[in-house]
Amino acid sequence: MKDIAIRPLTIKDLKRMCNLIETRDDIDPKDAEKRLRLVEWVAFKNPFANGEPTYFVADDGRKIVAHLGRMPMEFMINGRICKGYFVHDLYVDPEYRANGQGFFVCMSLYKAIETNSDSFCCMVWTAHLNLELQRLRGYHELGGDRYYKFFNPYEKMTKVIKQNQMAKLMGFILKILLSFADAILINLIPAGVKVTKTDKFDSRFDKLDPDTFSKIGICSNKTRKYLNWRFTGKPFGNMEVLVAEKAKSILGFAVVSVENDGGYLQGVLVDIMAHPDDARTISSLFKAAVKYFRRKKVDWIRCCLTDKRFARILKRFLFFKDVLYKEPVMLANLDKCDVSELLTDIKRWHLTYGASDDLMLDVLHEGDLTPRSRYPSRISAL
């Protein structure tokens, strides 16, 4: 480690960052340039960065061998703006993983971010290996609930019924029953608030009811500038924004996306925001999202919600909580903030997949949203 420098990423590093990205086995080499553009967008377009480092890299003099992202962020905590950071996007060169130095590089990157951050750090939806590293560093661990709604349950049937034809039959029967249940239950739930699509967050989004943030608990400060950077300004983005409004005022919004998961179409409820006591607006947004995904012919919808007030309404739309899994939420630098008691209570958080870099750094391939088969021979695990 004595020959490896841990330092902030600069614009001049982007070419060498691309060389490191090309070593990833989860994207094709031709997509390395796409991912580099996404990293550049996350690193140098963040409206809350104000010149702060947004990535730290490990440099051995020959090449950049690892990186770890840090998103400077404004959080709303009981209506008060507080500074914080999302830590994300850890990657180490395969050469360093193979020679045994990867662990020490990772720990050095985490230490650099902890030392150079003047407030708390939050890590969400982290990979299992990263989770183990964060546990070793003594981070505080929380868990968020993950929910699913199924339109086509065949993939799940294959895990219960090993006989392919029987799984198809049971999947088909359940699909019909779920469709009838949707027609009866979902259409009976009144909406009452107009929901439309928008291409951009305008100035009205800076005028959300101030009471929304004081009642919501803890979440990213969802200003117009942040929302456009996070959702509508992303290169290669495929997110849609649904807006609930009344008399030209914004009551709330939801962000939705569709991705290919092993030949199946997965709908992702990326984000949702409204006054937590406004059940009518929340219901209208969930209803619009479900209808959107049904039109897109997705096989299931996935979302994460830590706010129980939203989750209670979500369940009315036949979303089921994954009782076997919690989405990890890790906290560091709690000694550098005066609200650690609030931060360590997951019930106070309003976290969705829109937090941190989930879906932000995905590289979609051309034609990726066309299912190869409704009943592929090889089934991916969720």
Tokens linked to 231: 């959702």
Same domain, 125 and 57: yes
Closest to 55 in 3D by CA, of 135, 15, 123, 112 = 112
- Please indicate, yes or no, whether residues 179 and 322 belong to a single structural domain of this protein: yes
The answer to whether residue 361 sits within a structural domain is: no
Chain segment 310-324, per-residue pLDDT in tens: 999 999 999 999 998
DSSP type of residue 149: E
Same domain, 314 and 203: yes
357: in domain: no
Note whether 52 and 133 are same-domain residues.
Answer: yes
Among the candidates 276, 291, 326, a domain finishes at 326
Domain boundary among 144, 172, 202: 144
For residue 132, how many other CB atoms are within 10 A of its CB? 10
pLDDT at residue 353 tops 90: yes
Residues of the chain with pLDDT > 90: what percent? Answer: 70
Predicted local distance difference test score (pLDDT) of residue 169: 66
156 and 301 fall within a common domain: yes
User: Does residue 347 form part of some domain?
Assistant: no
pLDDT at 22: 94
At residue 381, does pLDDT exceed 60?
no
Q: What is the pLDDT of residues 80-135, one digit of tens each?
A: 999 999 999 999 999 999 999 999 999 999 999 999 999 999 999 988 889 999 99
Asked if 174 and 317 sit in the same domain, the reply is yes
Question: Which pLDDT belongs to residue 191?
Answer: 64
* pLDDT recorded at residue 181: 72
- Beta-strand pair 80-92/121-124: parallel
Do 120 and 138 have their domain in common?
yes
Query: Does the pLDDT value for residue 153 go beyond 80?
Result: no
Instruction: Give residue-wise pLDDT tens across range 2-16.
Output: 689 999 999 999 999
- Here the CATH number for the domain that contains residue 167 is 3.40.630.30
Q: Is 108 helix (H, G, I), strand (E, B) or coil?
A: helix
Burial of 281: CB neighbours in 10 Å, binned 0-12, 13-18, 19+: buried
Given a cut of 80, whether residue 221 has pLDDT beyond it is: yes
Q: Tell me the C-alpha distance between 81 and 334, whole Å.
A: 17
**Residue 370 falls inside a structural domain:** no
Residue 75 lies in a domain: yes
Residue 360 lies in a domain: no
373 has a pLDDT exceeding 50: no
Which of 9-18, 44-53, 94-103, 255-264 is predicted with the least confidence, judged by mean pLDDT? 255-264
Mean pLDDT for 148-171 is 68
Contact 81, 223 (CB under 8 A): no
CB 193 within 8 A of CB 333: no
Alpha-carbon gap, residue 23 to 30, rounded angstroms = 11
Residues 303 and 185 in one domain: yes
Do 100 and 186 belong together in one domain?
Answer: no
Q: What range does the domain containing 298 cover?
A: 145-326
Q: In the prediction, which pLDDT does 263 show? A: 81
- Inform me whether the pLDDT recorded for 69 exceeds 60: yes
Does 376 fall in a domain? no
Report field, pTM of the whole predicted structure over 0.85:
yes
- How far is 75 from 219, CA to CA, in rounded Å? 6
Whether residue 161 is found in the same domain as residue 302 = yes
pLDDT band at 376 (very low <50, low <70, confident <90, very high): very low
Banded pLDDT at 264 (limits 50, 70, 90): confident
pLDDT of residue 366: 42
Any residues with CB less than 8 A from the CB of 269 and at least 6 apart, and which?
A: 254, 255, 256, 289, 301, 302, 303, 352, 353
Last residue within a domain, chosen from 121, 144, 167 = 144
**Whether 123 and 180 share a structural domain:** no
Partnered with residue 268 across adjacent β-strands are 257, 302
Do 203 and 251 lie in a common domain?
A: yes
In-domain check, residue 365: no
Angle formed at CA 367 by CA 364 and CA 372, multiple of 5 degrees: 110
Residue 89's pLDDT is what? 95
Count up the domains in the chain and report the number. Answer: 2
Mean pLDDT of the chain: 87
Over residues 23-41, mean pLDDT: 90
